[in-house]
Amino acid sequence: MSFNLEALVAACKGALADDRPQEKITDIIRQIVADSESVEAVLGKDERAGIERLYVSAELTIINVVWAPKMTLPAHNHNVWAVIGVYAGREDNIFWRKEGDDLEGRVEAAGAKSIAAGEAVSLGKKLIHSVTNPTASYTRAIHVYGGNFFEIERSEWDPLSLTEGPHNIERTLALFKAENSIIRQI
């Protein structure tokens, strides 16, 4: 079965009416990324880091994320459930949890999960994670969120102090742009 963007959007929107939309969308994404060649035929084999908006509404966001080689995104949350399906490369996720009664919102590492091409995972609403592309190649993934990814109030954590601060989507998009500049210089 070949990948069809309109069918993906329709299936995900339809899943929102299900009792367990996140589980249903995880199954949908798992089936889609199992055929990476079909996804790449539609979304391309970008060799440029970025976040491409495929569908955005108040209830649902679907984006195509391209990670540059060795790129890392610091710890952040989404405040909505998420589904990540990798169709090329690999994402290494470190999961974080807030430390005890720390009033500064510090986090500590609590686990990890590697997501390889052809795999999909579901992330809970309260999850905090950082993401690294550990490979020398570009990693491509479809991310689905249970809300508007670009307008959700969220937090991110400083990579050195591990203290919480407000998330800034423009800073995140600038990080992807900066990665492209670094790659061009190599």
Residues 24-80 pLDDT 10s: 999 999 999 999 999 999 999 878 999 999 999 999 999 999 999 999 999 999 999
Closest CA to 39 of 142, 148, 175: 142
Residue whose entry in the numeric block shows the structure tokens 């959007």: 9
In angstroms, the Cα distances linking 96 to 58, 75, 89, 154, 167 are 27, 7, 23, 15, 16
CB-based burial, 23-38: b 16+ in 10 Å, e otherwise: ebbbbbbbebbbebeb
Torsion sign (Cα): 130, 134, 135, 136: positive
pLDDT band at 126 (very low <50, low <70, confident <90, very high): very high
Q: Rounded to an integer, what distance in angstroms lies between the CA atom of residue 80 and that of residue 120?
A: 17
Residues 127-182 pLDDT 10s: 999 999 999 999 999 999 999 999 999 999 999 999 999 998 999 999 999 998 88
For the chain, give every domain's residue range: 5-185
Q: CB neighbours of 42 closer than 8 A, spacing ≥ 6? A: 2, 3, 4, 5
CA angle at 5 for the pair 171 and 47, rounded to the nearest 5°: 50
> Please, are residues 54 and 9 in contact by the beta-carbon 8 Å criterion?
yes
* CATH, domain range 5-185: 2.60.120.10
